[in-house]
A and B are shown apart, each in its own frame.
Chain A
Amino acid sequence: MVFSSLIFLYVFLPLVIVLYFISPKWFRNTLLLIASLFFYAWGEPKYVVLMLLSIVVNYIMGIFIDKADGKSKRLTLLVATILINLAILGYYKYAGFFIDIYSDITGQQVEWEAVPLPIGISFYTFQAISYIIDVYRRDVKANRSLIDLSLFITLFPQLVAGPIVRYQTIDEQIKSRFTSSSDLMIGTRRFIQGLGKKVLIANPMGEVADQIFALSAGDLTTGTAWIGIIAYSLQIYFDFSGYSDMAIGLARIFGFRFEENFNYPYISQSITEFWRRWHISLSSWFRDYVYFPLGGSRVSHQWKVYRNLLIVWTLTGFWHGASWTFMAWGFYYGIIICLEKKFILKWLEKIPRFFRHVYVLILVMIGWVFFRADNFAYSWDYIKTMFFMTDNVAYDYNTIVYLMDYAIYFVAAIILAIPVYIMYQKWSETKAEHSIGFAIPLRIVQTVIYVGLILFITMFLVNATHNPFIYFRF
């Protein structure tokens, strides 16, 4: 089920909220688990079994690892569990890719029928692995309640597109939590903000990007190519951060506090900073479970730091999808971050802030071309068109139409991609805390605006076709 659908908004969500708050506390986790499984089964009925299998394996292995005495035995169990998780992920996500490589190298054709990728498998597999590693490290105790562990992995707000929640983050909250009136207000507000980001900005930006990336390289103009990549950059940010906002907001309504997943990445002044602000839960996962175990930056030779960075970033690319373009995209960031570490960061400090932003935005947009395009050849042609390196004209009818028809969305997206509204929100909330005279009109106006926003979003949803989140396919 998709958050930005009428069935979720007007059927599933009100029913779950009402049932949750009228249920006794002891039943609430079970209710959320049932709701989460239903939520998942709605889109992927047959893959619920796969997810449940993954949960049971991790549940049992977590207890074994927790109980095991010797370090080597614990390590063996850990490695076995990780391999099982990766085997499931690999079969569904990467098998076809590796079989193609094998066939290309050996010239032998291997019979393989591609299997559809279960939605959210990359996210829940990583959550499960983080749980197992944390149990192994003795950071947490293995959870003896199958329902609670299942809820951690399947909790519907974050099930299909993250953020990747660490078990440590919500361990205590699963056992005991309380939803205050403030949580309800903040959660509701955050959910509506996220829904607005997805429906009112990401989807229109997606229309532009999809149409432009569907053009052949010869039909592109420089202006259209720039509009296309700017649209995609805004689409992917508002799509994914919108989903994260909805997940965080919904979780808050049910009393959970998730970590932030985005922090205005497009205002970054270096690529290193960009990745501290973009998909934070994935970056920190790779940092804690891959980069640090490889030695991180505490290694005997400087080249090993670069090696570690390149491994981590190539894997990050590979996590997104089984294709060379994703790997290249990850490797691209690995190279840039290595170069920044070596000398670019020092150089950036010396130039005006404006140029640091330009530097980041251009590199990120070039990266998105590889991410969005279907193959390398098209990516290269697209980038060459962007920089006047082809014979294509500067603009045409489509360029003007995209600019005119979507100007309002571009302007809104750019304003919301910088932390203007959040600054206002923080200021107004602080003032409301200290002045009831300010709080009353603030809450009334806020309610009117957000209810209006929900109705406005509904208007878009009634007119929309099925429009899933970009990160569903990862």
Chain B
Amino acid sequence: MKILNLLLPTAFLAVLVIGLTLFFTTEDREVSEMENRELQTANFSTNVQDIISGKLTKEVESYISDQFAFRDDWMKSFVKFQSATGKTVIKDQYYVDARTGWIVSKAADLVPEEELDAFVENFKNIQEGLSAHDIPMAFFTFPAKATYIRKPSPSFVPEDMGIKNNARLHEKLTANGIDNTKIMDAIPKAVDVHDMYFKTDHHWNMFGAYQGYLALMKTINERIGEKIEPIPFEEKNMSCLPNDFSGSWNKVLYLTVANDDQICYNYPESFENQFSVYMGKVGEGKEYTFNDIYAGAKNMDKNEFVSYATGYSLDYAMLSFLNEDYDSDKHIVIVKDSYMNAIQFHVASHFKQTTILDLRYSKGDPVNMIAELDPDYVFFAYNDRNFNVVEQY
């Protein structure tokens, strides 16, 4: 009986000791790719004040939690448990349809009026600043997945306010004299939005990006007064990677959602020799080619996961494109977020010079930055869920 009684306490202690041993023997990680954040490492605050205030103990607790053995597997199991128990909003962010593989974001609320006003005010200041340098500008919104993919999701979820928020924003921009367009309005109604996006990522896929590119060129033509013919979407230009895709939303869910997402490309072969690209202003630093910037995942191991960023292009503070085979001799600047990455070469292929700016990675006044480039036209192109783009610089 005594041995039987000791069974549970011994097993319990064994679990704890094994956990402790694994913790000490597992190598520390500095970053969690899944959680997209830095992990606490063993660099602790050790001065007397930090010890007395309890800062040190908090850091040690974070360290143990962050470096706990098999942390990602525990987290993944928890998400699977939540899905298995029918949780409507997983991780308080997403509706998951396990049958189809779609991940849909939680419905957004109405953006407060003051927030929209502040956003528009910022653009008004930028427009005034650019006008002083005789640089025309326009503001475009790309259709975000979160705004247009609302199904499949439970029937009882509230209405997403994305479309209303976007409409309110464009009304305010117009009322303040800022040239603007919803790119979605220029995309043919016949296009099924479910074909435009990755199921497990917050970005559009190649087909969706291409629709965006076609619509964008149409709106750009209207601004610059030219009739540039965009490159048609052709099957012969299509290629897809065999790699598994790590969608940004699926990563938050520890890649637990099975899906058929795939990184695909659609561009003519000529792109590979057509451009000189600089990570900065033209002539600054090393000259890069198309293959250095775009579709780097083609060289990755087939067993590696590919994300939207590694699949198309990383975000750079400034990319300058010189194009030998252009339709227009204009120099345009596009201030963008990551939605543009999939189609930046497509757009650049029409102009003699194109500069792509990402204010999230730049420092300084955007007006001065753009004025120094002396472009013919500036286009701001952001996905329509992005309401703090200007404040980010």
Contact = CB atoms under 8 A, between A and B. Distances in A.
Contact of A450 (B12, B60, B61): B12
Given A5-B61, A7-B61, A397-B157, A447 B19 contact: no
B65 A184 contact: no
B87 interface: yes
B56 to A, nearest CB: 8
B13 interface: yes
B23 A188 contact: no
B89 A184 contact: no
A466 B68 CA distance: 15
Contacts of A460: 78
A362 interface: no
A459 B74 contact: yes
A218 interface: no
A405 B89 contact: yes
B4 A440 contact: yes
A378 to B, nearest CB: 22
Interface in A1-24: 5-7, 9-11, 13-15, 17-18
A179 to B, nearest CB: 10
Contacts, number: 120
B86 A404 contact: yes
Q: Could you say which of B16, B54, B89 has the most chain A C-beta atoms within 10 Å of its C-beta?
A: B16
Contact of A400 (B4, B13, B51, B156): B156
Nearest to B80: A459
A462 B74 contact: yes
A42 B57 contact: yes
Given A42-B57, A439-B4, A463-B75, A11 B88 contact: no
B51 A451 contact: no
A450 B8 contact: yes
A202 interface: no
Contacts of B1: 181, 436, 439
A43 B16 CA distance: 22
Interface residues of A, number: 49
B388 interface: no
A305 interface: no
Contacts of A463: 74-75, 78
A189 B8 contact: yes
A17 B71 CA distance: 25
Given A400-B156, A462-B71, A45 B51 contact: yes
Interface string B244-258: 000000000000000
B8 A185 contact: yes
A454 to B, nearest CB: 6
A447 B8 contact: yes
B193 interface: no
At the interface, is chain B mostly helix, strand, loop or mixed? helix
Given A43-B57, A405-B89, A185 B65 contact: no
Interface in B246-280: none
Interface in A113-143: none
Nearest to B71: A462
B177 interface: no
Interface string B44-85: 000000011110010011001100100100110110010001
B75 A462 contact: yes
Given A10-B16, A454-B15, A459-B74, A404 B5 contact: no
A408 interface: yes
Nearest to B19: A10
A300 interface: no
Contact of B6 (A46, A181, A405): A181
Interface string A176-194: 0000111011011100100
A14 B88 contact: no
A10 B158 contact: no
Contacts of B81: 459
Contacts of B23: 10-11
A60 B149 CA distance: 72
Contacts of A458: 19, 74
Interface string B13-48: 101110110010000000000000000000000000
A11 B16 CA distance: 8
B11 interface: yes
B74 A14 contact: no
B156 A397 contact: yes
A321 to B, nearest CB: 22
Contacts of A44: 54
Contacts of B16: 9-10, 13-14
B286 interface: no
B363 interface: no
Interface in A451-470: 451, 454-455, 458-460, 462-463, 466
B364 interface: no
B5 A444 contact: no
A80 to B, nearest CB: 31
A188 B88 contact: no
13 contacts: A7-B61, A7-B64, A13-B16, A14-B17, A43-B57, A45-B52, A184-B5, A185-B8, A397-B157, A446-B7, A455-B15, A459-B78, A463-B74
Given A18-B13, A454-B12, A466-B61, 11 more contacts: A13-B16, A14-B19, A14-B20, A15-B20, A43-B54, A185-B6, A401-B156, A405-B86, A446-B8, A451-B12, A462-B71
